[in-house]
C-alpha cells in the first residue's frame, strides 16, 4: 500500500464546517485485526482510533439454581448462562473523541452504527503473508476543540482500503446462552462449621 493517496480521518480542525482532517502521507500501523463502525443505513465504515476500541463489552453470569446438583466432590454443578452486552462508547475522554466527531458530523447516534471486527483479506496483494495489514492513522493527538482525538484513523474508509480487509464478525449483544460450568466457580458445601 502506498502512502501517496489522500485519506480522511476521524477528527477535525474546523468545528464550523466539520470537515475531516485529510493527509496524503499519514503514519501506518500494521494490524492483525481492527474494529470499525459501519453505518447500518449507508454502509459507510469509519475507524475512530487505532489506540482504543470503540465499544464497551460487559458480561453477566446467571446460575439456574432449580437444576443444581451436588457432585461427589461436594461441589454444586448445574446450568450456567452468560449474557453479553455491547455498547458503543459515547466518548473516551480525550482519547477517542473520534466517536463524537463521527456522530456529530453525520448527525447520527450510536444506534445508527454497528461494530464490525475486520481481519486482513489474505487474497489481496497489500496484505502480508501472516494476514496483517497496514492501517493509516494520525499519530498522537490531532484535531482541535471538543473533537481532538488520539491516534485517529479513517473517516469514510475508501473502497481501496476496505478491499484489504475481510469482515470477520459483527459484534453484537447476546442474550442468555448456556456455557460450560467452570470448576473454579463451583460452590463447595461446608459440612462442618467450627464455632470459636
CA quadruple 57, 169, 42, 46: dihedral sign? positive
d(CA 3, CA 145): 28
Concatenated DSSP letters of 73-141: TSBEEEEEEEEEEEEE-S-BTBTSTHHHHHHHHHT--GGGEEEEEEEE-TTSTTS-TTS-EEEEE--SE
Predicted confidence (pLDDT) per residue in 16-54, tens digit: 889 999 999 899 999 999 999 999 999 999 999 888 888
Q: What pLDDT was estimated at residue 122? A: 94
Residue 125, C-beta contacts closer than 8 angstroms, at least 6 positions apart: none
Query: CB 133: neighbour CB atoms within 10 A?
Result: 26
Q: What pLDDT was estimated at residue 83? A: 84
Query: Is this structure's pTM higher than 0.85?
Result: no
- pLDDT of residue 1 exceeding 90, the answer is no
Find out whether 67 and 59 touch, Cβ atoms under 8 Å: no
Where along the chain do its domains lie? Answer: 7-185
- Geometric angle at alpha carbon 172, from 105 and 124, rounded to 5°: 75
Phi, psi of 105 (to 5 degrees): -70, -25
Q: Which of 50, 32, 60, 43 is nearest to 166 (CA)?
A: 32
Amino acid at each position: 500500500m502506498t502512502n501517496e493517496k489522500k485519506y480522511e480521518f476521524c477528527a477535525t480542525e474546523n468545528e464550523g464546517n466539520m470537515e475531516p482532517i485529510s493527509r496524503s502521507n499519514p503514519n501506518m500501523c500494521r494490524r492483525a485485526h481492527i474494529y470499525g463502525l459501519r453505518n447500518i443505513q449507508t454502509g459507510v465504515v469509519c475507524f475512530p482510533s487505532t489506540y482504543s476500541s470503540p465499544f464497551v463489552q460487559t458480561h453477566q453470569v446467571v446460575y439456574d439454581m432449580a437444576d443444581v446438583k451436588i457432585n461427589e466432590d461436594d461441589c454444586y454443578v448445574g446450568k450456567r448462562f452468560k449474557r453479553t452486552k455491547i455498547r458503543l462508547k459515547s466518548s473516551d475522554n480525550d482519547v477517542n473523541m473520534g466517536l463524537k466527531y463521527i456522530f456529530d458530523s453525520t448527525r447520527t447516534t450510536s444506534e445508527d452504527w454497528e461494530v464490525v471486527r475486520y481481519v486482513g483479506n489474505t487474497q489481496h496483494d497489500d496484505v502480508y503473508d501472516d494476514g496483517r495489514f497496514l492501517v493509516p492513522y494520525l499519530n498522537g493527538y490531532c484535531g482541535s476543540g471538543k473533537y481532538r482525538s488520539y491516534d485517529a484513523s479513517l473517516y469514510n474508509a475508501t473502497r481501496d482500503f476496505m478491499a484489504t480487509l475481510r469482515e470477520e464478525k459483527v459484534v453484537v449483544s447476546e442474550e442468555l446462552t448456556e456455557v460450560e460450568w467452570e470448576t473454579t466457580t463451583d460452590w463447595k458445601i461446608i459440612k462442618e462449621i467450627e464455632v470459636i
